[in-house]
Amino acid sequence: MSKKRIKLNILGLSYSQTQTGAYALVLAEEEGERRIPIIIGGVEAQSIAIKLEGLTPPRPLTHDLFLNFAKAFDIEIVEVVIYKLEEGIFYSELICKREKETLHIDSRTSDAVALALRFNCPIYTYEEIMDKAGIVLDFDAVEDEGGDTEELSPEQRKEPKGEEFSGKSIDELKTLLDDAVQKEDYERASKIRDEIKTREKGN
């Protein structure tokens, strides 16, 4: 009997307050209220955030390089599957197509999600994993969740709000954003992007 598959969407990223330098990635079932929070590292979080926020780095990041390499050899990632949860760790695989051949490649979940964004492919898991790890998540509680989480959308991030941008106009912020991207300071770029979005929402 085949397992029931559940399609997941990326809900967003937030800072993890339980692990220094880590982030929480939150995946949501497409048809339902359950969420899977997954703790991921800063590098992977940055790669996911850049794509979510539509930033274009001047040089390809590792996941962009993987995309370019795969395309050069006519390999397409058609879906990502989170297939196992064991001792608090999520296991994922990339389902790839090359001509008529299907390939299954083991991957960390954070890398798999970053690649799913770049290949514009769906993310799935199984009902048994949702039963184990799925929670109905209040965003105010995201940072209190430990365990295996990944990230929340830029609007939903709970990043410390600095006052360094308070005196800047939106045009000045956009100039600062371009400068941060060119310098490959993506953490600063994300903060500036959040500030711009917050102001545009308020208008």
Q: What's the pLDDT tens digit per position in 92-126? A: 999 999 998 999 999 999 999 999 999 999 999 99
Q: What's the pLDDT tens digit per position in 117-129? A: 999 999 999 999 9
* Cα 195 to Cα 32, 48, 55, 94, 200, distances in angstroms: 31, 19, 15, 35, 9
Task: Enter the DSSP assignment of 88.
Answer: T
Q: What's the pLDDT tens digit per position in 10-59? A: 988 877 666 667 888 999 999 888 999 899 988 898 899 889 888 888 88
0.75 exceeded by pTM: no
Q: Is the pLDDT of residue 151 over 60?
A: no
Stronger pLDDT, 190 or 101, i.e. the higher one: 101
Provide the Cα torsion 164, 182, 154, 148; round to 10°.
-110
Tokens (6 digits) for 3: 């397992």
What domains does the chain contain, in order, with CATH numbers?
Answer: 5-158 (3.10.690.10), 162-203 (no CATH)
* Cα 53 to Cα 12, 25, 103, 115, 200, distances in angstroms: 11, 15, 30, 15, 15
- Give the separation between CA 120 and CA 142, rounded to whole angstroms: 26
What is the Rg, in whole angstroms, of the alpha carbon atoms belonging to the chain?
Answer: 18
Cβ proximity of 148 and 38 under 8 Å: yes
Question: What is the mean predicted confidence (pLDDT) over 165-191?
Answer: 78
